[in-house]
Structure 1
């Protein structure tokens, strides 16, 4: 965590600058919808998400969430079971608070998915969570990819990043032999009746979707490095599909 103004690190899709207790980000056609959604969340009890301050044609200004937002390579404490449980409970709060949000005039950056049960964050992962010094989650950031979708869409991505669900985990992360227990810990903490197989299937689909998005963004943002990320997502999706086939 930094107490100084200036560019914030960690993102690869948007330029974010801190200005005191606010952040300034590039805006898009979806920004008014996201601002309306963030205000709706606050009215429904979510006091740990950014609040809109203003928006013009090109930029938005949001309140700054104070906390330690980890960047890659992730620190060792991020793999504690407590982070899985806390994150799953926070995600349940976020989803439940979104129920009733009016979407008839909404414009979203990310495609709507079915069934559209809640408003998904679509990037709910350790790199978009703010932590206190004791390791508890005090906030979530980067809501600009939010859109309607199934609860499991967000849960699967959180598990992909936080378990993690990959053939070759990052240094210090739990291995594949502990993945099922950690997935089931997330599902229990969230209160989901989905099975481990349900989540892994959606996680693979989510990674293929993310690979396609990365390839599109590589062209749109002139960032060829995103093509390498797309290949990595494809490989992890294929790995998860093989896990499902092996467990059938």
Structure 2
């Protein structure tokens, strides 16, 4: 399991082969004026150090602030600001190493796991974005789809401390996120299918890593995470037309 520690204004995290590339991305974001991401400090073969982003992460159960419409809107705007800054990252195939495969069309560097638990809040305001290990080149809608799935939320499972919202409320939150992000029409038209594709990819990764003996993913499978994501895929497919109409 990952072990993340904090010492004053620094965070120490396990490093991977992709960490040098992620640090170049973080440096680029700050050069572009996107200061909501951690600043890269140093990295080695097994450990990286980045700056601490002050605030409260949107972990479950959500606080009233994190569950608010204002938090959803500011999170969507934060994602747009990140994408705009990351779009100018100078890709270099000879040195870049990402933990995820590139997805086409490449429009920016996507975060890869944009969700409330990777956003940092000051009350109802999203002020930070953390954990860039899954960043990789790809289309903006890949992140927006992941975000809408998490923020609506469209999960069929019980979320600790939360009452499952009605479908109408989920659709309204999905539409509001897309409006706040200012997602283009083409991306809106494929949002529902991109959500299902991202969940299928997540299950595939989980099962592949578990088969290879990765203890985190072995634990995830044992706790039924893959079964939940499959149920969510079925739910999204059942309501795909309603989702498409809501976000159009």
Taking structure 2 as the reference length, the TM-score comes to: 0.88
Post-superposition offset of 1:17 = 0.6
Query: In the alignment, is residue 157 of structure 1 matched against residue 146 of structure 2?
Result: yes
Residue of structure 1 equivalent to 2:163? 172
Residue of structure 2 equivalent to 1:143? 132
Q: Which has the higher contact order (CA 8 A, sep 6+)?
A: 2
Counterpart-to-counterpart distance in 2, 1:247 and 1:118: 25
Residue of structure 1 equivalent to 2:232? 236
Gaps of 5+ in 1: 1-12
CA-to-aligned-CA distance 1:178-237 (integer Å, 9 cap, x gap): 122211111111111236552121111111111112223334422322112122111101
Residue of structure 2 equivalent to 1:181? 172
Taking structure 1 as the reference length, the TM-score comes to: 0.88
Q: State the SS of the aligned residue for 1:112.
A: coil
Query: In the alignment, is residue 200 of structure 1 matched against residue 192 of structure 2?
Result: yes
Residues 90 and 197 from structure 1, CA distance in 2 versus in 1: closer, same or farther, beyond 3 angstroms?
same
Counterpart-to-counterpart distance in 2, 1:45 and 1:179: 33
Counterpart-to-counterpart distance in 2, 1:239 and 1:202: 14
- Which has the larger displacement, 154-163 or 234-243? 234-243
- 1:51 aligned to 19, 39, 44, which one? 39
Counterpart-to-counterpart distance in 1, 2:70 and 2:36: 18
Query: In the alignment, is residue 28 of structure 1 matched against residue 13 of structure 2?
Result: no
Is the Cα–Cα contact under 8 Å of residues 152 and 199 in structure 1 kept in the other structure?
A: yes
Post-superposition offset of 1:55 = 0.7
Query: In the alignment, is residue 217 of structure 1 matched against residue 217 of structure 2?
Result: no
Post-superposition offset of 1:245 = 5.8
Post-superposition offset of 1:168 = 4.6
Counterpart-to-counterpart distance in 2, 1:242 and 1:173: 17
Counterpart-to-counterpart distance in 1, 2:65 and 2:165: 11
- Which has the larger displacement, 32-41 or 232-241? 232-241
Root-mean-square deviation (CA, aligned residues, Å) is 1.9
Gaps of 5+ in 2: none
CA-to-aligned-CA distance 1:50-72 (integer Å, 9 cap, x gap): 01111111100000011111322
